């Protein structure tokens, strides 16, 4: 496992986008695992710029989002479909039939689909302040596959700002820890002081269900890409 600390979230966004760009250049038929959340916003903005500047051909790229709210209409502004389309997909020349989300089919079929596509070449992940990755909440098993999950109380609380009508989704469909660990390369990205405590705990912990992100230590090619705020307690 490697840790790279950069000055601020702009530097992190540039680095993450350039790593993704290199992956696409090296393997134009790459399968990418993609996360959502505030952390990823500057990264997708930067990635759009790079892809469009270099006029990259994305016709063979497949994307597999790591999670989506269960039963939330995909047209809802808080859905991860909406987020991804708005921030990335509509700005690049990706083939819409190569874009996949876990809730559009039976959860167990998502892992089969990923396997059939040849596995995830590179997955980018954020981290929740309780240590969740995708929507694998504390208590999840290292052997978990893609499935419907109940959101932790703390996650619902952090998400409540996005659902002022009070209709906060209680469940999500998330790739499992097993799905994540099968990826060839993984980058966990954390920025801001809000993530400092959980990053410090994750880096100190042994892999355990208490902090799902700690399971990433079981993988050989993981990079923790942090800004100095997120790294301030390590
Ligand atoms: C969300 C998503 C995750 C994301 C994480 C961190 O709830 N399910 O995929 O990585 O929590 O989000 P943020 O970057 O907004 O802190």
Residue 55 lies in a domain: yes
pTM tops 0.95, yes or no: yes
155 alpha-carbon distance from chain centroid: 15
Number of domains the chain is built from:
1
Confidence of residue 121 (pLDDT cuts 50, 70, 90): very high
3-state helix, strand and coil shares in percent for the chain, rounded to the nearest 5: 40, 20, 40
Rounded Cα gap, residues 209 and 131, in angstroms: 10
Residue 117 lies in a domain: yes
Handedness of CA 102, 194, 89, 46 (dihedral sign): negative
| Mean pLDDT, residues 95-124 | 94
pLDDT of the residue at 90: 97
In ligand 1, which atom is closest to the CA atom of 158? Answer: 7
Rounded Cα gap, residues 27 and 169, in angstroms: 37
| Mean pLDDT, residues 81-101 | 97
pLDDT of the residue at 106: 86
188: enclosing H helix or E strand:
strand 185-190
- Condensed to tens digits (0 to 9), the pLDDT of residues 182-209 reads 999 999 999 999 999 999 999 999 999 9
Rounded Cα gap, residues 43 and 126, in angstroms: 11
| Mean pLDDT, residues 20-49 | 97
- pLDDT beyond 90 at 88: yes
Q: Over the Cα atoms of the chain, what is R_g?
A: 16
Least confident of 59-68, 69-78, 135-144, 159-168: 159-168
Look at the block and give the residue holding tokens 């290292």. 142
Residue 206 lies in a domain: yes
DSSP string, 64-116: EESEEESS--TTSTTSHHHHHHHHTGGGS---GGGEE-GGGS-HHHHHHHHHH
Rounded Cα gap, residues 132 and 151, in angstroms: 10
Strand partners, 148: 173
pLDDT of the residue at 104: 73
- Condensed to tens digits (0 to 9), the pLDDT of residues 129-166 reads 999 999 999 999 999 999 999 999 999 998 888 898 88
Best residue among 36, 40, 83, 199 to mutate for probing ligand 1, ranked by most atoms within 8 Å of CB: 36
pLDDT of the residue at 89: 98
* Distance from residue 29's CA to the centre of ligand 1 (Å): 26
Residue 52 lies in a domain: yes
Q: Is 153 in the active site?
A: no
pLDDT of the residue at 103: 80
Instruction: Tell me the CATH number at 60.
Output: 3.40.50.1360
- Read off the tokens for 116: 């059939």
Atom 10 in ligand 1: residue holding the nearest Cα: 126
Backbone φ and ψ for 156, nearest 5 degrees, come out as: -60, -40
In ligand 1, which atom is closest to the CA atom of 125? Answer: 10
Residue 234 lies in a domain: no
Residue 232 lies in a domain: no
pLDDT of the residue at 111: 97
pLDDT of the residue at 91: 97
Characterize the bridge pairing of strands 171-174 and 147-150: antiparallel
What count of other Cβ atoms lies within 10 Å of the Cβ of residue 172?
25
pLDDT of the residue at 105: 76
pLDDT of the residue at 95: 97
Atom 3 in ligand 1: residue holding the nearest Cα: 134
Question: What is the pLDDT of the chain when averaged over all its residues?
Answer: 96
- pLDDT beyond 80 at 67: yes
Q: Is 130 in the active site?
A: yes
Which residues form the domain of 154? 2-227
Q: Is 81 in the active site?
A: no
Residue 233 lies in a domain: no
Residue 136 lies in a domain: yes
Q: Is 67 in the active site?
A: yes
């Amino acid at each position: 496992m490697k840790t790279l600390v950069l000055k601020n979230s702009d530097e992190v966004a540039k680095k993450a986008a350039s790593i993704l760009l290199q992956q696409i250049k090296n393997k134009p038929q790459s399968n990418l695992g993609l996360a959502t959340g505030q952390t990823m916003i500057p990264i997708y903005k930067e990635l759009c710029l790079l892809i469009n500047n270099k006029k990259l051909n994305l016709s063979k790229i497949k994307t597999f989002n790591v999670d989506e709210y269960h039963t939330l209409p995909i047209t809802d502004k808080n859905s991860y479909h909406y987020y991804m389309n708005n921030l990335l997909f509509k700005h690049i020349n990706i083939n819409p039939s190569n874009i996949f989300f876990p809730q559009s089919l039976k959860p167990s079929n998502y892992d089969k689909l990923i396997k059939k596509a040849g596995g995830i070449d590179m997955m980018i992940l954020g981290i929740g302040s309780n240590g969740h990755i995708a929507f694998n909440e504390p208590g999840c098993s290292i052997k978990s596959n893609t499935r419907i999950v109940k959101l932790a109380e703390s996650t619902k609380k952090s998400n409540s700002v996005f659902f002022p009508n009070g209709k906060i989704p209680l469940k999500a469909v998330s790739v499992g820890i097993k799905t994540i660990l099968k990826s060839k390369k993984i980058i966990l990205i954390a920025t801001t002081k809000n993530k400092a405590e959980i990053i410090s705990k994750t880096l100190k912990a042994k892999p355990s269900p208490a902090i799902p992100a700690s399971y990433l230590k079981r993988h050989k090619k993981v990079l923790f890409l942090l800004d100095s705020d997120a790294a301030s307690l390590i």
